[in-house]
Chains A and B, each alone.
Chain A
Amino acid sequence: MSQARLVKIEKDILGYNDAYAAENRKLFADKGILALNLVSSPGSGKTTLLCRTVGDLKSRLAVAVIEGDQQTTFDADRIRATGVPALQVNTGKGCHLDAHMIGHAVGKLGVADDSVLFVENVGNLVCPAGFDLGEAAKVVILSVTEGEDKPLKYPDMFAAAELMILNKVDLLPHLSFDVDRCVRYARKINPAIRLIELSATTGQGLDAWYGWIDEKRQAVLSDRALALETKLAAVRRTLAEGA
C-alpha cells in the first residue's frame, strides 16, 4: 500500500505559455521588434486593415506578419500579395495562437531587426485574451457593423487590450451603432484603453493608427538604443583596460 501525501504546487496553469511568451518578449527587445497582437471577432476587417497598413508602412519601415486561422492560407496570401513577408499558422482545432507557435513562426519567418511584427490572431473575442504571445500590446478591433455592447459581452479581451480600433466608421451613417455608448462600455471594462476610429476602406483615421504605431515603436527603439549603448560602453571599457 502506498502512502498518500499532500504536495504544494502553487504554479500558474498558463505558466508553460508564459515562459514561451517571456522568451519571445526578450527576443523582440533584443532585436528592436515591435510586436502587436491584433484580436477581434471574425469579420471585423482585421485582414483588410492589415493589408492597407503594411502597404502604407512598408516603404518607410520593415514589417512582417504572422497570420493565425484554424484553416487555409488565404490571409497570408493576401498579405504576401502586398510584398510583405507573411507566415500562416493554422491552429487546426485550436481557437487561439499561443506563445510557442509564435516563437516557431518568428524563427521561420526571419523577422528583421527594428521592424514591426503584426500578429493577426484567430478571429475570436474569447480565448486569445488569456494567451500572452510576448507582444508589446494587444489591439482589439471592433467594427461598427457589430454590436456596440461587445465590450461588455467579451470583457476579458477589452480588459487585456491597450488600444481599441473602431473600424468601418464610413458605414456609420447607415447604421444605428452608438459610438459613445460603445466607448463608454469599453472604458467601463478598461478605463485606460485608447481609442482610434478609422475606416480601412476609405483611409479615414489611418494617420492616428500609424501615429500610435510610431509612438510604440519609438519606445521599443529607445530601449534597444539604451541596451546597445550599455553594451558598447562595456566593450569600450574592456578594450581600454586591456590596452
Chain B
Amino acid sequence: MHEMALTEGILRLLEEQATTQRFHHVRTVWLEIGELSTVDPEALRFCFEAIRSGTVAEGAALEIIRTPGQAYCMDCANAVHVGQRYDPCPDCGGDSLQVTGGDEMRVKEVEVE
C-alpha cells in the first residue's frame, strides 16, 4: 500500500508550500498522475480522504488529471501512445518500446485561501 506513503508525501509538500507560499487552507489539489505511473488513482483518493483531516488540506477536494502514456517504438521509429507498459506498438505491433512519458506523479496546482 505505497499509496499511503505517497499521500503522506503530498500532504508534506502542501504543508511546506503553506509556509513558503503563505496560505492556511487548501480547497482543491490538482495532481498529475501518468497512466504508466506506479500508483492507482482510486487508492490515492481513498488514502487522501483518510488522512487529510488535521492538515492544511482538511476537507480539500482532490482532482486527478491522467496524463497519457507515451513511448518511442524502436521498430518503426514512431512516438506512440501506450496505456500500459506491456502494450505492443499500436502502429507496427512491435515490442521494443521505450517509455518517454506518462509515468509522472506530480502536485500541479492548488486552490488555497
Contacts and interface: CB of A to CB of B under 8 A. Distances in A.
Contacts of A12: 104-106
A131 B39 CA distance: 12
B9 A16 contact: yes
B27 A4 contact: yes
B9 A189 contact: no
Contact of B86 (A2, A10, A13, A155): A155
B105 A14 contact: yes
Nearest to B9: A13
Say whether chain A's binding surface is mostly helix, strand, loop, or mixed: mixed
A11 interface: yes
Interface in A5-35: 5-17
B17 A13 contact: no
B2 to A, nearest CB: 4
Contacts of B74: 191
A159 interface: yes
Contact of A10 (B12, B25, B27, B106): B106
B112 A17 contact: no
B17 A187 contact: no
Given A4-B27, A4-B113, A13-B13, A126 B2 contact: yes
A17 B9 CA distance: 9
B85 A11 contact: no
Interface in B13-43: 13, 17, 21, 23-25, 27, 31, 38-39
B64 to A, nearest CB: 12
Contact of B112 (A7, A152, A155, A156): A7
B109 A16 contact: no
Given A6-B111, A11-B107, A187 B2 contact: no
Interface string A142-167: 00000000001001100100000000
Contacts of A130: 2, 6, 38-39
Interface centre among A13, A127, A152 (most CB of B within 10 A): A13
A7 B86 contact: no
Nearest to B29: A9
A86 B67 CA distance: 42
Interface string A82-109: 0000000000001110100000000000
B45 to A, nearest CB: 14
B84 interface: yes
Closest 6 pairs (CB-CB, A-B): A127-B2, A155-B85, A130-B38, A2-B113, A13-B105, A9-B107
18 contacts: A2-B25, A4-B111, A5-B113, A7-B111, A9-B107, A13-B10, A14-B9, A16-B12, A16-B13, A96-B2, A96-B5, A126-B2, A126-B38, A129-B38, A130-B6, A152-B86, A159-B99, A191-B96
Given A8-B109, A16-B12, A16-B13, 7 more contacts: A2-B24, A9-B13, A10-B107, A10-B108, A13-B106, A95-B1, A191-B97
